[in-house]
Amino acid sequence: MIVRRDQKLRLISAVPLFQACSQAELARIASIAEQVELPRGEVVFREGEPGDDFYVLVKGTADVRTRKRHVRSLRAGDFAGEIALLLDASRTATVTTTSPVTALHVTRKGFSALMDVSPKIQQKILLALAQRVAPTSL
């Protein structure tokens, strides 16, 4: 399966971190997202390990577990790891595929390079991040 450009844009635009971005900005983000194929049973990332990439599921399913407890299931359109694009921190959950998965994959390195050359995207993402944490702040 080859993910079409319009499908990439639609999936990327559904990620809350990117919702304030224009179509042109979303296209720039989508351009750094590489399609990957993951087999059933693949550990995409493990709780406690360093994180430096982000995934959007195009097709397939995955389970999210924290402290070995099932938290939720991911399916097409769902995503995981977006904070790892911005922050050098340990993963807060383990994600394992439960079927073959087609996903979009973005690395922190590629994302950081894009932020360096696009301050408008950077500003919108920082605002989205601030809005995300504001309700839990004092």
Query: Measured between alpha carbons, how far is 48 from 85 in angstroms, rounded to an integer?
Result: 16
Tokens (6 digits) for 5 = 């450009």
Total number of domains in the chain:
1
The answer to whether the beta carbons of residues 63 and 16 sit under 8 Å apart is no
116 band by pLDDT with thresholds 50, 70 and 90: very high
The answer to whether the beta carbons of residues 53 and 81 sit under 8 Å apart is yes
Residues 83-99: what's their mean pLDDT? 91
- CATH code at position 86: 2.60.120.10
**Model-level pTM?**
0.87
Q: Can you give the pLDDT at residue 106?
A: 95
Q: Can you give the pLDDT at residue 137?
A: 53
Q: Which of 6-20, 84-98, 118-132 bottoms out in mean pLDDT, i.e. has the lowest? A: 118-132
Q: Residue 109 pLDDT more than 70?
A: yes
Write out the residue range of the structural domain in which residue 12 sits: 5-136
Residue keyed to tokens 């844009």: 9
